[in-house]
Homo-oligomer: A and B are copies of this chain.
Amino acid sequence: MSQVESKVGPRPANSIQSERTAIDFDIDLLNVFLEGSYEEAAIVQELMQQIERDPILKVDSSYYELNKSEHREVTARKIAQLSTYMERDAPDYDKFQKRLGLLTIIDPQLGTRIGIHLGLFLSALKGNGTDEQFQYWAFDTGAVFLKNVYGCFAMTELAHGSNVAGLETTATFDKDANQFIINTPHIGATKWWIGGAAHSSTHAVVYARLIVNNEDHGVKTFVVPLRDADHNLNPGVAIGDIGAKMGRDGIDNGWIQFSSVVIPREYMLTKYTRIDEDGEVIEPPLAQLAYGALLTGRVTMVRESFRTSQRFMTVALRYAVGRRQFAEKNSEDNAELQLIDYPLHQLRLIPWLAFTYALACGSERLTKEHVLTIEILEAASRSEDFTKIGKAIEKLKNIFISSGMLKSACTWFTANLIDEARQSCGGHGYSSYSGFGKAYNDWVVQCTWEGDNNVLAMSVGRALSQALIKAQKGKKIEGDLSFINDYKQFVGKDVILGQYFDLKVLLICYKAVLIRLADYVVQLLPENNNNWDLFGAEKVTMSKLNAIYYLLEAFIDRINKLSDKGNIKPYLVDLAKLFALSNIDKFSGIFLQFNVISSEQLSELSFEIKRLNKHLRTQVIGLTDAFKFSDTFINSALGSYDGDIYNNYFDIVKMQNKEVKAPYSEVLEKMLHRAPLENREYFQKSKEVLNRLGKL
């Protein structure tokens, strides 16, 4: 025993250890499945080891004690440390990105803060600048190694977020001086939420309206120096901290106001739109490619959804195995049941575990598609071949849709997952040391930034409906929406799907519901003045269901490629089924409404979910151990590998108590020992006094 006990206390570690010995499959193989390949699995462990041992980069429970200013400072120190890794990783930027991706699991604010420079700022330079411009700003200055130049991405304004084309900062061309005047015309155009601006950035890529001879050419991008080499603000540049946030306090988000700040003409990023010395604006047809910079962020967020889900599924399921509650009736030893043995508890968690597995496959597919698209795009933009360019644009549109549906659905689902996982740990989930609180607060901004989820999902739903209209006109649909080509099999109310506990049939169920929902909207549009806005909710639902279909398809595809080694396939098949069925159950209203399943089938399906949960429940320790997240990456009092929940938690809490009395104890003691009210009122309300005062 760890402490003196006058009666034997709970031993949650025993439960976890005994379930660990009963693992029925090869954990290493399952980890390889999750990571995609042996090589990938190995490098992930290698990088995790470096992080865990690095005294500046690692985290532990003290992370949950930091206040806002401490978070800002600690994050800056980590960035300084990372810059030295960066120098050594170079030119293997992919390795550095992986490192960062893993660091983001335990410290999302760090990932964002450095990602604004390395991701948004440099991507904007690459995406919008000429090769020369990118070479200069990224390499010649040293920015790519976090030297001399630290960038931020000044897009959002106080009064404009989603509507980028409506931004109001101006970049007015002064032909005589061959320069631009950057100006914030009013409070609404103040750059807002600009990560890195408050304390870190020396330069910004500024989104501003190009004004030439009083003509507005729309929003373009400009490099604007914010601070000089002494890190002092340049004249005309007003910057401030936007203060406290719901989460991610480690990021120094700021606001920026430009008051007629002058930059050379050459600081405009001119890969697409150019302006010559005479003020003539040249806009090639490729301009629509200029907004690609945000895509990387969306793709990354899908992968982050996977990583975050892994982390919190591990915590919640270990706790559910270790924690006991209420004795089973008529049980011999009167032992309490493990939480995970309750069917409702299984239903609350195991479908989210299935989601996590589906995400492993779906996020990997999206990432690969994105890399490929960027390559094709880069090649096309260098060529003069319009067929190539056209195909590249098609590819880009496709990834706009798939990243949009996945970013929105997965960030929402992951927020739900963290919340459900926290609630499943009862009161202890509310302790900061469980990790849920900070993680949730850090997470939920993902549903808003880099494309508000509702805005993105509506555009996906609309694209899907429009693809159906095209298909109905005989056009062939390419890419991720190509399933719509089969629409004829599904439109019409007669087809009822029979047996759907088979993965192939489950895929068909999703196709059917998607096409029928799209058809429903398409049918109703004309009688509603083609007002797409009226069908916002339907479009969002379509996007969510399409994301689930995408994840399911990727999951099944990967399972089909598996050998029978290590006994992992049967569990993966069950997880895929559970993922498919639990989401039919979640969206049962739509599946019933469009006659894809019947009421009786819904009832059968709910029993099949219960059966799958009960079966998978026996392996939850193995299915989360396979993530191979060490205690540093879990960073939760409730979720350590050893399962010794209560001792671990208490050890952390005990570190709090250096003083027995509160520093403000006097306030309470004075209150408790205050004199009677009569005394404090100078006895001025005594009967005698009132009698005297009341005398006429």
Q: Is A64's beta carbon under 8 Å from chain B? A: yes
List of B residues within 8 angstroms of A649 by Cβ: 158
> Measured between C-beta atoms, what is the minimum distance from A490 to chain B in Å?
16
> For the complex, what is the distance from the CA of A656 to the CA of B254, rounded to whole Å?
11
For A655, the closest partner residue in chain B by CB is: B243
B537 & A7 in contact (Cβ 8 Å cutoff): no
A72-80, A122-130, A294-302: which one contacts chain B? A72-80
A437 & B447 in contact (Cβ 8 Å cutoff): no
A240 & B657 in contact (Cβ 8 Å cutoff): yes
Q: Is A482's beta carbon under 8 Å from chain B? A: no
Q: Is A342's beta carbon under 8 Å from chain B? A: yes
B77 & A433 in contact (Cβ 8 Å cutoff): no
> Measured between C-beta atoms, what is the minimum distance from A468 to chain B in Å?
18
A247 & B437 in contact (Cβ 8 Å cutoff): yes
**A 247-275 contacts with B by CB, 8 A:** 247, 252, 255
**A 442-474 contacts with B by CB, 8 A:** 444-445, 447-449, 452-454, 458
Q: Is A674's beta carbon under 8 Å from chain B? A: yes
Q: Is A326's beta carbon under 8 Å from chain B? A: yes
For A610, the closest partner residue in chain B by CB is: B534
Nearest 10 A-B pairs (CB), nearest first? A344-B536, A9-B186, A246-B437, A588-B589, A244-B432, A7-B185, A199-B662, A240-B657, A73-B664, A80-B671
- Cβ contact of A7, chosen from B80, B168, B193, B589, cutoff 8 A: B168
List of B residues within 8 angstroms of A149 by Cβ: 672
Given contacts A423-B454, A429-B448, 12 further A-B contacts (CB under 8 A): A5-B185, A5-B187, A7-B189, A9-B159, A147-B673, A148-B673, A156-B427, A162-B325, A162-B326, A344-B458, A537-B606, A589-B589
A contacts, CB < 8 Å to B: 2-3, 5-10, 64-65, 67-69, 72-73, 76-77, 79-80, 83, 87-88, 146-150, 156, 158-163, 166, 168, 183, 185-190, 192-193, 198-200, 202, 229, 231-233, 239-247, 252, 255, 323-327, 336, 342-345, 347-348, 419, 422-423, 426-427, 429-433, 436-437, 440-441, 444-445, 447-449, 452-454, 458, 520, 533-537, 540, 585, 587-595, 599, 602-603, 606, 610, 646-647, 649-650, 652-654, 656-657, 660-665, 667-674, 677
> Measured between C-beta atoms, what is the minimum distance from A560 to chain B in Å?
31
> For the complex, what is the distance from the CA of A347 to the CA of B646, rounded to whole Å?
44
List of B residues within 8 angstroms of A660 by Cβ: 232-233, 239
List of B residues within 8 angstroms of A662 by Cβ: 72-73, 76, 198-199, 252
> For the complex, what is the distance from the CA of A605 to the CA of B261, rounded to whole Å?
55
B448 & A427 in contact (Cβ 8 Å cutoff): yes
> For the complex, what is the distance from the CA of A537 to the CA of B582, rounded to whole Å?
12
For A342, the closest partner residue in chain B by CB is: B533
In the complex where A244-B65, A343-B534, A671-B83 touch, is A665 in contact with B589 (Cβ < 8 A)? no
In the complex where A199-B665, A426-B161, A665-B231 touch, is A187 in contact with B9 (Cβ < 8 A)? yes
> For the complex, what is the distance from the CA of A309 to the CA of B514, rounded to whole Å?
34
- Cβ contact of A656, chosen from B241, B444, B585, cutoff 8 A: B241
> For the complex, what is the distance from the CA of A281 to the CA of B647, rounded to whole Å?
36
In the complex where A432-B246, A650-B190 touch, is A603 in contact with B599 (Cβ < 8 A)? no
> For the complex, what is the distance from the CA of A186 to the CA of B1, rounded to whole Å?
10
In the complex where A188-B9, A441-B437 touch, is A653 in contact with B255 (Cβ < 8 A)? yes
- Cβ contact of A183, chosen from B6, B343, B595, cutoff 8 A: B6
> For the complex, what is the distance from the CA of A72 to the CA of B188, rounded to whole Å?
37
> For the complex, what is the distance from the CA of A520 to the CA of B603, rounded to whole Å?
10
> For the complex, what is the distance from the CA of A447 to the CA of B162, rounded to whole Å?
33
List of B residues within 8 angstroms of A592 by Cβ: 588-589, 592-593, 599
> Measured between C-beta atoms, what is the minimum distance from A306 to chain B in Å?
22
B447 & A423 in contact (Cβ 8 Å cutoff): yes
List of B residues within 8 angstroms of A593 by Cβ: 588, 592, 599, 602-603
> For the complex, what is the distance from the CA of A310 to the CA of B593, rounded to whole Å?
34
> Measured between C-beta atoms, what is the minimum distance from A509 to chain B in Å?
15
- Which of A243, A326, A590, A663 has the most B CB atoms < 10 Å from its CB? A243
28 contacts between A and B (CB under 8 A): A7-B185, A9-B187, A10-B159, A73-B663, A76-B668, A83-B671, A88-B677, A148-B673, A150-B668, A161-B325, A163-B325, A166-B325, A166-B336, A187-B650, A199-B665, A229-B673, A241-B653, A243-B432, A244-B433, A246-B422, A247-B430, A342-B533, A343-B537, A422-B444, A423-B453, A430-B448, A589-B592, A589-B602
> Measured between C-beta atoms, what is the minimum distance from A655 to chain B in Å?
8
List of B residues within 8 angstroms of A229 by Cβ: 673
> Measured between C-beta atoms, what is the minimum distance from A62 to chain B in Å?
10
List of B residues within 8 angstroms of A240 by Cβ: 653-654, 656-657
> For the complex, what is the distance from the CA of A87 to the CA of B660, rounded to whole Å?
30
List of B residues within 8 angstroms of A430 by Cβ: 245-247, 444-445, 448
B326 & A664 in contact (Cβ 8 Å cutoff): no
A656 & B326 in contact (Cβ 8 Å cutoff): no
List of B residues within 8 angstroms of A591 by Cβ: 589
- Cβ contact of A448, chosen from B150, B423, B534, cutoff 8 A: B423
List of B residues within 8 angstroms of A187 by Cβ: 2-3, 5, 9, 646-647, 650
> For the complex, what is the distance from the CA of A667 to the CA of B231, rounded to whole Å?
12
In the complex where A8-B186, A426-B452, A431-B242 touch, is A76 in contact with B533 (Cβ < 8 A)? no
> For the complex, what is the distance from the CA of A343 to the CA of B8, rounded to whole Å?
60
> Measured between C-beta atoms, what is the minimum distance from A300 to chain B in Å?
18
A326 & B432 in contact (Cβ 8 Å cutoff): no
In the complex where A185-B7, A592-B592, A672-B150 touch, is A646 in contact with B158 (Cβ < 8 A)? yes
> For the complex, what is the distance from the CA of A324 to the CA of B166, rounded to whole Å?
11
- Cβ contact of A667, chosen from B76, B326, B347, cutoff 8 A: B76
List of B residues within 8 angstroms of A324 by Cβ: 159
